[in-house]
Amino acid sequence: MPGATASLFALWEPHLMRIIATASVVSVLALAACSSYAPPPPRIAPLAPQPVNPVASQALPAPVAPAMPQPTTDMAMGQPTGPAVAPVNPAVAADVRKADLIGGWTLASAGETCQLSMNLTTWSGGYRASTRGCVSDELKAIGAWDVAGKEILLKDASGAVVARLYAAAPNRYSGQTDVSKRGVQFFRS
């Protein structure tokens, strides 16, 4: 049988050589297809600079004064009162809604002006309030607020009343502090 194997090999030898050559060419082509070649994009020439007209300048007009009335000073209390407001009579004060008090206010008392923020988060004795930039300990202590009828109560963190105010005008509430009895108000511009 060894002669039969040799004759079989001799019979297939030309075909095997073609198969090996074809497989080699296919392998080379397959590897070449895996990598691609793209020519680089053409270079674009930069634009030439263009002449520009000079920027015109002129003086700005004078500032225009605001149309709002400027705050006045309450001589008896030595505090800014904003536009003149008559003392509030609690019996005829306007009704107060909690929703109208939410947000930021300017708080003024005895020449001191700072910021008051009021929201509807439940807090000791009412709702959460906070001040920023106040100098006096009395105004710094404000940490809560509530409404009792027509009266707005500003309270400290323990719920003790710091000031009582009434509606004096739209977006303006006036009254006095409980301890020092000095005038106090908060307002929005």
Domain spans of the chain? 72-187
Q: Residue 50's pLDDT is what?
A: 78
For the chain, 189 residues long, the average pLDDT of each consecutive 10-residue run is: 61 74 75 67 80 72 56 44 53 86 94 94 87 94 93 92 92 92 91
Q: What is the three-class DSSP state of 124? A: coil
What is the model's pLDDT at position 116? 96
CATH classification for the domain delimited by 72-187, as one of 3.30.365.10, 2.40.128.10, 3.40.50.300, 3.40.640.10: 2.40.128.10
User: How far apart (Å, rounded) are the C-alpha atoms in residues 28 and 158?
Assistant: 88
Q: What is the pLDDT of residue 76?
A: 42
In which residue are the tokens 């930069």 written? 46
- Asked if residues 155 and 145 have their Cβ atoms less than 8 Å apart, the reply is yes
Q: Which pLDDT belongs to residue 25?
A: 74
In this prediction, residue 189 carries a pLDDT of 74
> Containing H/E element for 23?
helix 2-34
pTM over 0.75: no
pLDDT of residue 47: 78
DSSP 59-118: PPPPPPPPSSPPPEEETTTTEEEES--PPP-GGGPBP--HHHH-EEEEEEETTEEEEEEE
